[in-house]
Amino acid sequence: MDSVSTIEPLSPEVTPASMAQAESLLANSASAPVLDVRHLCAVYGKRSILRDISFTLNADDFVAVIGPSGAGKSTLIRCINRLVEPNAGEVRFLGEDLRQSRPRALRAARRRIGMIFQEFNLVDRLSVLDNVLTGRLGYTSTVRSLARLYARADIERALVLLERVGLSDHCHKRADRLSGGQRQRVGIARALIQEPRLLLVDEPTSSLDPKVAREVMGLIRQMAEEFQVPVLCNIHDVDLATRFCSRIIGLQDGVKRFEGRPDELSPAALRDIYAMEVL
């Protein structure tokens, strides 16, 4: 006969006070930032690329990083998951300082940080479906990944994501046969199949025409809301940043010159961010 689960009575140690304490801890955990960057600095040679950058990213944030070329936007994004090693400061992801993480812990954290790249970073000779499935490599053994032996659940998930980004009719097409906008949609699906807790997005629209750029930014925002994942997006287009993002950080020469809502980004603030550069 099948066993029947029973509910154990509360032990004497479980009191209203201890339950209230547990509920408080859960609430604090839920309200804690997903990403907490503190006094981040990065130096190349003798040049300071990032200077004392601090900000937080909450679970429902879509934050744009704007600024002129050379301001440190891409370096900031890549310092988060240590593709670039910062020289000082803290990068706390889900409470853990990634700068102090050992290799195994860093690999585990990177599995939960999806990244969407400026140049797409697809494998041209692979199919669209296989490119999306590369997002599961961090969860797959070396032997299975080399043989491209993915779990059925991963394949089904990839197909669902391709449908969500509008590419279900292209899943067996080689990646090098896609347009720029389609390639970026593959990149979005690949990042989401990681089941990320954070999305880092590096100039997702720089090589796209204005109409496709708006579509891609709209899709990223839609997917972020649907999958409840916060986004940190380095973007050169101020109009797109103010249209699609909930908060904006402005960098100028590695220094944070502005942080606030899009409606707070005044002409004076833009002049401070871009200095002598013509927008």
User: Is residue 2's pLDDT more than 50?
Assistant: no
Asked if 242 and 262 touch (Cβ cutoff 8 Å), the reply is yes
Tokens found for residue 210: 């204005």
Asked if 248 and 259 touch (Cβ cutoff 8 Å), the reply is yes
Give the start-end residues of each E strand in 61-202.
Answer: 62-66, 88-93, 96-97, 113-116, 198-202
**By mean pLDDT, which of 13-22, 97-106, 141-150, 242-251 is the weakest?**
13-22
pTM of the model: 0.84
Helix (H/G/I), strand (E/B), else coil: 195 = coil
- Phi/psi for 165 (5° steps) reads -95, 5
> Which residue has better confidence, 24 or 42?
42
pLDDT at 226: 93
Which are the contacts of 92, defined by CB distance < 8 A and separation ≥ 6?
A: 33, 35, 36, 37, 38, 98
Residue linked to tokens 């990634």: 98
> For the CA atoms of 69, 73, 79, 80, what is the dihedral angle to 10 degrees?
-160
Domains and CATH numbers, the chain: 34-112+196-279 (3.40.50.300), 124-195 (no CATH)
Give the Cα separation of 233 and 200 in Å (integer): 6
DSSP single-letter state for residue 44: E
Asked if 200 and 115 touch (Cβ cutoff 8 Å), the reply is yes
Give the Cα separation of 250 and 155 in Å (integer): 39
Give the Cα separation of 56 and 71 in Å (integer): 19
127-171 per-position pLDDT tens digit: 999 999 999 887 765 556 556 678 899 999 999 999 999 999 999
